[in-house]
């Protein structure tokens, strides 16, 4: 399935990959943000750009109404409190999610947006704790301890509201630590278990995030659904149970991961949307990272 898609949010690297992937798959893509930056969208077939402040409800509503897209993808403008003040992160993410998702609902568009594994509360918590079970799935309680993760929980509630009120499908994509081919930063964290303990050393290739988004906006499910999106393996290149014991002092009471397994279950998105990751650090760390090649 293809059609018209609106990609709302900062045109950072992940959003660019999403936009280009959809365009190359036959979608007619309009990107929305404050600035087109230095990236010349018009040079790519099927891509156009509209200027709007996602935190301004009227501006966002006007863009969505005039474009009347089949699908809307909302990617987070402020990615983490590590680079921005916590209150600014929370306020910007919640307001923009409300404005984009409600406008998309009124336009009867299918919706996918960037929630996060941070909604569980382990990443960015300051002192990661051992979960009650592994692998984590969509049913695990959301217990954020920081502005970013909390904004994602609120965003998912907005998604549920929009799905109920406008009867449109809303996919909350709980993506893991996004990596780019040729620039797998997670591999630099192998020597420091604490650096990746917040998500139990999980990751996902940006190309797999793009295919997950495409599956979500092309699917025929109803209501609001959260989906974990991660690679099939962890990035440690060592048994994950050994890392859990070394860092946390033991294993969860229910531990279904071993060896190279990821700590995130992708069973739901596989079974509901037919998606599966196809990229791993083993194949991708030396690849070309540019999306403009």
Question: What pLDDT shows up at residue 285?
Answer: 67
Question: What pLDDT shows up at residue 21?
Answer: 95
Which CATH number belongs to the domain containing residue 253 in this structure? 3.40.50.720
Is 32 a domain residue? yes
DSSP 256: -
- Pick the closest to residue 177 from 234, 137, 135, 139 (CA basis): 234
Question: What pLDDT shows up at residue 40?
Answer: 58
Is 290 a domain residue? no
Question: What pLDDT shows up at residue 261?
Answer: 98
Which whole-number Å values give the CA distances from 79 to 6, 11, 177, 221, in the listed order? 20, 12, 11, 28
User: Alpha-carbon distance 183 to 240, whole Å?
Assistant: 22
Is 288 a domain residue? no
Neighbours of 147 (CB within 10 A): 24
Is 29 a domain residue? yes
Question: What pLDDT shows up at residue 12?
Answer: 72
262 lies in which domain range?
4-282
Which residue numbers in the chain have pLDDT < 70? 10, 37-45, 77-86, 285, 288-293
Is 291 a domain residue? no
Total structural domains within the chain: 1
Question: What pLDDT shows up at residue 257?
Answer: 98
E strand intervals along 97-208: 110-114, 133-134, 170-175, 178-179, 204-205
Is 163 a domain residue? yes
Is 292 a domain residue? no
Is 125 a domain residue? yes
Q: What's the pTM? A: 0.94
The residue written with tokens 């690679």 in the block is: 231
């Amino acid at each position: 399935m293809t059609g018209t898609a609106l990609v709302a949010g900062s045109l950072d690297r992940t959003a660019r990959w999403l936009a280009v992937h959809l365009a190359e798959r036959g979608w007619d893509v309009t990107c929305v943000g404050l600035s087109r930056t230095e990236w010349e969208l018009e040079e790519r077939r099927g891509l156009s750009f509209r200027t709007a402040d996602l935190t301004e409800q009227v501006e966002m509503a006007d863009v969505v109404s005039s474009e009347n897209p089949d699908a809307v993808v909302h990617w987070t403008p402020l990615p983490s409190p590590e680079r921005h003040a916590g209150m600014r992160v929370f306020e910007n993410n919640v307001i923009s999610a409300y404005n984009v998702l409600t406008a998309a609902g009124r336009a009867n568009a299918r919706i996918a947006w960037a929630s996060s594994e941070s909604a569980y509360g382990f990443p960015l918590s300051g002192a990661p704790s051992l979960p009650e079970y592994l692998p984590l799935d969509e049913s695990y309680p959301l217990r954020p301890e920081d502005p970013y993760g909390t904004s994602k929980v609120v965003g998912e509630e907005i998604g549920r509201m929009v799905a109920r009120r406008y009867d449109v499908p809303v996919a909350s994509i709980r993506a893991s630590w996004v990596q780019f081919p040729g620039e797998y930063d997670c591999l630099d964290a192998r020597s420091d278990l604490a650096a990746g303990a917040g998500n139990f050393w999980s990751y996902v290739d940006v190309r797999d995030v793009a295919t997950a988004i495409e599956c979500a906006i092309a699917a025929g499910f109803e209501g609001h659904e959260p989906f974990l999106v991660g690679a099939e393996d962890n990035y440690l290149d060592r048994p994950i149970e050994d890392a859990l014991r070394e860092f946390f002092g033991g294993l969860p009471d229910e531990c279904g991961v071993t060896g190279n397994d990821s700590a995130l279950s992708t069973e739901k998105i596989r079974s509901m949307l037919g998606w599966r990751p196809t990229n791993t650090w083993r194949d991708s760390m030396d690849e070309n990272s540019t999306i403009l090649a």
